[in-house]
Amino acid sequence: MSTTLVFGGTGQLGQCLQHVARERNLTDIVFLPEEQADILDAGKLQAVFRQYQPAYCINCAAYTAVDKAEDEVDIARRVNRDGAENLARLCSEFNTTLIHISTDFVFAGTGNQPLVETDEAAPISVYGLTKLEGEQVIPTHTSQYFVLRTSWLYSEYANNFVKTMLRFGREREEMRVIWDQAGTPTYAIDLAGCILTIIESQSQAYGIYHYSNEGLTSWYDFAQAIFELSNTPVRTVPIRTAEYPTKATRPAYSVMDKTKVKTTFQVAIPHWRDSLKVCLSRLS
């Protein structure tokens, strides 16, 4: 496999890519140190691409502070849109295939059917809007790209919902968790595996794809499963979104259809509960 560059390699998904790359004995993947990996620094990016002449570029770098983005619109847009544009320009110049990670937040979440890639994107938060702008700017510079939209990402790495629930479960007797938002948790190890499978396939079936684990749940039921499977004795109380106001509005329903990624790359996607068991066993 030719060289693959990973931007955002120290984040949750980047660490999961390192984990899966080790498992698959893939050695031609470069996880760039932070001083080289600033996707807003066009000069440094140019030097990195010139040095490595990558066949693939994976963009895991993003501004993901959903509520802060409502106040920090400019920096969210710079990272999520302008950073994606910088990479797309260089991918075109160096004949590199771009794999860009996006989000279910590009959807309004007002429906009740699993979302396919061609469904209308209508974000209801600054974070979702800037991630959509990143998706939209990529094809203006390169045709060799894969955009992977994902949702509710967690793993044994970095900060995420699963690790937060486990910590709170040890500290509290009762947890109040939202039950009227439906989606699908995604074990970032599984997503990393799909990304590397796409690279190994050398496929040219470019475009937008959805990837999460199978099934659907609410945040309340997800928390319940975390506590049940980890034997954490905490009482869980379901609450409505209106009882836990946040600066940014979240999609009420963001379950994504994965038919396209499964049929194109022949990937088997585990049910979210099965992957949660794996993650919890590794955390313990």
Q: What is the average pLDDT across 112-138?
A: 98
pLDDT of residue 98: 98
User: Percentage of residues in the chain with pLDDT exceeding 90?
Assistant: 97
What's the whole-number average pLDDT of the chain? 97
Distance (Å, rounded) from C-alpha 4 to C-alpha 6?
7
Q: What DSSP character marks residue 116?
A: P
> Residue 221: its pLDDT value, please?
98
Residue 29: the pLDDT is 97
**Model confidence over 7-58: pLDDT tens digits?**
999 999 999 999 999 999 999 999 998 788 899 999 999 999 999 999 999 9
pLDDT in tens, 220-257: 999 999 999 999 999 999 999 999 999 999 999 999 99
Helix pair 272-283, 219-229: axis angle to 10 deg: 50
Whose tokens are 């793993």? That residue is 155
* pLDDT above 80 (res 1): no
Buried b (16+ CB within 10 A) or exposed e, 84-102: bbbbbbbbbeeebbbbbbb
Whether the pTM exceeds 0.95: the reply is: yes
pLDDT value of position 36? 83
**Cα 55 to Cα 180: distance, rounded to the nearest angstrom:** 43
* CATH value of 4-152+186-213+256-269 in 3.30.70.20, 3.30.1640.10, 3.40.50.720, 3.90.180.10: 3.40.50.720
Contacts of 179 (CB under 8 A, 6+ apart): 218, 219, 220, 221, 238, 239, 240
What residues form DSSP beta bridges with 31?
A: 6
- Residues 34 and 60 sit within 8 Å (Cβ to Cβ): no
Tell me whether residue 154 is one of the annotated catalytic residues: no
Question: What letters, b where the CB count within 10 A reaches 16 and e where it falls short, cover 124-134?
Answer: bbbbbbbbbbb
**DSSP calls for 22-57:** HHTT---EEE--TTT--TT-HHHHHHHHHHH--SEE
Residue among 136, 146, 156, 152 at smallest CA distance from 195: 146
Dig out the tokens for 207 from the structure.
């475009």
Taking only the tens place, the pLDDT of each residue in 182-226 is 999 999 999 999 999 999 999 999 999 999 999 999 999 999 999
Cα distance between residue 110 and residue 255, in whole Å: 11
Q: Between β-strands 174-178 and 235-239, what pairing exists: parallel, antiparallel or unpaired?
A: parallel
Of these residues, 127, 145, 157, 253, which one is catalytic?
127
Candidates 52, 63, 59; CA nearest to 30 is 52
* Averaged pLDDT, 248-267: 98
What percentage of the chain carries pLDDT values higher than 70?
A: 100
